[in-house]
Structure 1
């Protein structure tokens, strides 16, 4: 004679998952970004690298900063060690003579590289070293750059935030 349970088996399965679920732990293992990821994915806060500070699903990097003769937008992840630099443009020097540039006749990629050099030099003086630069491309166009630093670079760079719209 078959055993008949007054409780449907689906309910028992659901109840066991709910009761045992809190005791089961899963750990996400971040995978290293493949170099191909930097050219085929749409740039988001989650891909190709996870950005947890000043990143919007609509705009990407959202912290406007001005360094030397350049303005740009930043976002960060990895405890401030990974920085996304995007929308690099020329601007007036809002930081006095802390940064000096020679910007005559520069293309957008030259401006971005020069801005990255300024960032790197300023951080080197504080013992934070630029370890890797990764361009994020859409076709032939470079949309942004990922910068990987030896330590938290973002906390230092936030002081150059520009809030007035007149600077943009």
Structure 2
């Protein structure tokens, strides 16, 4: 009587891969904890602490300018678009009433909330926010989403003078 071996060649390969720790690199990037000390401006590159393969320059960092809800920012992302680096976030200048902008609009947290809410309407949840510090100041944020936030946010790309002009001057 011949007995059936439950370990087929395919299951043996899968078991070996699991034991060795082979997994897609994007899964590892989002799941492995990174110490907060790694999220410092002087340590930030396109390769570390998160590998950014989309719109990231070794010289400039995040390179895609977007305008969302009256806020300008630069953006870069990992390969699957679920981790986004947002830097140089500023309220879009409006030279007609910039002195009367409420403090709540000047708050960077408000801009990040608005970005999260915009993506939430698309079914993409903001899971984690990690500040990037330069001394005591926060200069950028890594935002981790439940899905590909980058591809949706690309539609808000602005080019040339549009990026720097007041919101009213660019509306039609």
Structure 1 outlier segments of 4+, above 4 Å: 27-31
Tell me the secondary structure at the aligned position of residue 71 of structure 1: strand
Residues 73-112 of structure 1: pairs in structure 2 closer than 5 A: 73-91=74-92, 103-105=101-103, 110=107, 112=108
Residues 14-29 of structure 1: pairs in structure 2 closer than 5 A: none
Which of the pair is proportionally richer in helix?
Answer: 2
Kept in 2: contact 1:41–1:48 (CA 8 A): no
CA drift of 1:92 comes to 5.7
More moved, 150-159 vs 83-92:
83-92
Q: Structure 1 CA distance, aligned partners of 2:68 and 2:37?
A: 30
CA drift of 1:40 comes to 7.1
Whichever of the two has the greater Rg, that structure is: 1
Tell me the secondary structure at the aligned position of residue 115 of structure 1: helix
Q: Structure 2 CA distance, aligned partners of 1:33 and 1:117?
A: 23
Aligned residues between the structures: 133
Gaps in structure 2 of 5+ consecutive residues:
1-21, 95-99, 165-172
CA drift of 1:68 comes to 1.1
Gaps in structure 1 of 5+ consecutive residues:
1-26, 94-101
The CA RMSD over aligned residues, in Å, is: 2.6
- One of 127, 152, 159 as aligned partner of 2:155: 159
Kept in 2: contact 1:55–1:75 (CA 8 A): yes
Q: Structure 2 CA distance, aligned partners of 1:138 and 1:44?
A: 14
